[in-house]
């Protein structure tokens, strides 16, 4: 029987999506993959504490130690190879990956984005900016998307989407919270399981 897909989750901040993934593995939603590494580019990311609470190794590739992208990615690749990582899940990772990196892991990097791609996505659309754009445009429905990562920001093939209705009186902060709770935290674990199973070849 093929071993489980070994997963690294890339994070930069609080790690609420990471928490959803860790709980999904614990609760048997992710069965074909195991989260073996949490990698951050921010030494103060609370996500590293979440990893520790679940007994998962956390490593920081700090921008201060590796100021240019090339050196940072070389160190990241070294760690991923050492840990025999099969799948990378970007869960609030605030750094664009190079075309060389995404090509190296083609079909093995997924990302969650807080809109229904192709709306409000691409370069410059991250965090609250996505929800500010959705509200200022006046759309009635938004949501979240999990997609494969390629060299184009938010440009890879879609794996899963879930819609969230915009409500009267929504602020970007309120909308961000609801999109996370109703969409991101649901579809990211499901997509992770889908891709883990595919990579495992069972």
Classify the C-alpha dihedral 187-15-118-101 as positive or negative. Answer: negative
Q: Please state, in angstroms and as integers, the Cα–Cα distance from residue 145 to each residue in 36, 53, 85, 111, 178, following that order.
A: 24, 27, 23, 8, 14
Q: How far apart are CA 181 and CA 177, in angstroms?
A: 6
* Residue 131 annotated among the catalytic residues of the structure: no
Q: How far apart are CA 178 and CA 102, in angstroms?
A: 30
Residue 84, φ and ψ in degrees, nearest 5: 55, 50
Here the tokens at position 147 are: 């997609």
For the chain, percent helix, then strand, then coil, each to nearest 5? Answer: 40, 20, 40
Q: Which of 108, 113, 131, 200 is catalytic?
A: 113
Write out the catalytic residue numbers.
113
């Amino acid at each position: 029987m093929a071993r489980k897909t070994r997963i690294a989750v890339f994070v930069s901040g609080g790690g609420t999506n990471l928490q959803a993934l860790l709980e999904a593995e614990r609760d048997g939603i992710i069965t074909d993959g195991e989260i073996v590494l949490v990698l951050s580019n921010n030494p103060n990311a609370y996500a590293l504490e979440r990893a520790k609470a679940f007994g998962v190794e956390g490593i920081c590739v700090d921008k201060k130690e590796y100021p240019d992208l090339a050196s940072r990615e070389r160190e990241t690749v070294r760690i991923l190879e050492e840990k025999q990582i099969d799948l990378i899940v970007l869960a609030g990772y605030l750094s664009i990956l190079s075309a060389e990196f995404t090509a190296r892991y083609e079909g093995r990097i997924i990302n969650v984005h807080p809109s229904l791609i192709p709306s409000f996505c691409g370069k410059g659309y991250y965090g609250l900016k996505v929800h500010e754009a959705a509200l200022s445009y006046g759309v009635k429905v938004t949501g979240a998307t999990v997609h494969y990562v390629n060299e184009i920001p938010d440009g890879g093939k879609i794996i899963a989407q879930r819609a969230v209705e915009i409500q009267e009186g929504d602020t970007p902060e309120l909308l961000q919270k609801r999109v996370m709770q109703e969409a991101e935290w649901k579809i990211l674990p499901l997509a992770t399981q889908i891709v883990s199973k595919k990579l495992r070849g069972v």
